Amino acid sequence: MHTRSTLNYQLPQFNASDKPTWLGDINGAFLAIDGAMHENAQNATEAKSTATSALAALNSALELAQNADTKATSALSTANSASTTATAAAETASAASSSAAATAALVASMRVKPIWTNNAIGSALSPTTETIANYSATGKLFTLVFVDNSTNGNFIEAVKLPGAGNGRGSEVDFDLTNGDIIKAYRDITFADSGDNMTIAIGACNILTSDGSAVTPTVDNTKVILAAVYAEELPTV
């Protein structure tokens, strides 16, 4: 038998005078070694499992952090874009306001001012009478702007007409569907009616080959009165 043992696992230690036995000393030592090694293996397996779980949790936390960073970056980009758009819109609105104010100031300072604008350019304009409220034809010089309605408003000519009276739109050559070349014009009459002024826009007359005027049944909206401008005649 052994007389001494190791400190940790109590394995046999022999002196010179000891006589070891297989059943007592050796079997016991191997059992102690086997038990300790098995316990160590179990501990290692448990430690590995714990480390694997910890790594998975760490990876999951890292992924969440990366997703949060991506969303934060996207939100910041959206906010910056919205801010840029808002700034551009504000600048555009400010420029439009300044332009409108400048235009209004220019019109207000002009001696020649628009008093009527035709909104029917590009479509039929039948003979009609337009009323300008609280306005008088007396002492005015009118500028009549005529356009070619068959080409959606190409400028023809501006005709000046002093005071209340009659005016004629430019005589313009047109090709009819039958190939004939004709001349057409519109009569314009200015008149005072109480506190208002009227602009009577006549039919689009066509001049025949002998010089007489007829009101055609086709192509009767060729010459369009596009706008009327007025200025005060100087007093003598």
List pLDDT tens digits, range 127-177: 788 888 888 888 888 887 777 766 666 777 677 777 666 666 656 665 555
For the chain, report the end-to-end CA distance as a whole number of angstroms. 152
Instruction: Choose one of 109, 136, 170: the last residue of a domain.
Output: 109
Cα within 13 Å of Cα(222), Cβ side: 23
Range of the domain at 142: 113-232
| C-alpha distances out from residue 224 to 9, 15, 37, 121, 212, Å | 118, 134, 110, 7, 20
Number of domains forming the structure of the chain = 2
- pTM comes to 0.43
Q: Are residues 70 and 178 in the same domain?
A: no
154: left (phi over 0), alpha (psi -120 to 50) or beta: beta
Instruction: Choose one of 69, 86, 109: the last residue of a domain.
Output: 109
Q: Are residues 155 and 208 in the same domain?
A: yes
Q: What is the pLDDT of residues 4-41, one digit of tens each?
A: 877 877 788 878 787 777 777 777 777 878 877 888 88
* Angstrom distance (rounded) from CA 52 to CA 62: 15
Share of the chain above pLDDT 70, in %: 69
Q: Are residues 49 and 134 in the same domain?
A: no
Confidence of residue 71 (pLDDT cuts 50, 70, 90): confident
Q: Residues 10, 13, 17, 19: is their CA dihedral positive or negative?
A: positive
- Asked if 172 and 186 touch (Cβ cutoff 8 Å), the reply is no
pLDDT at 155: 72
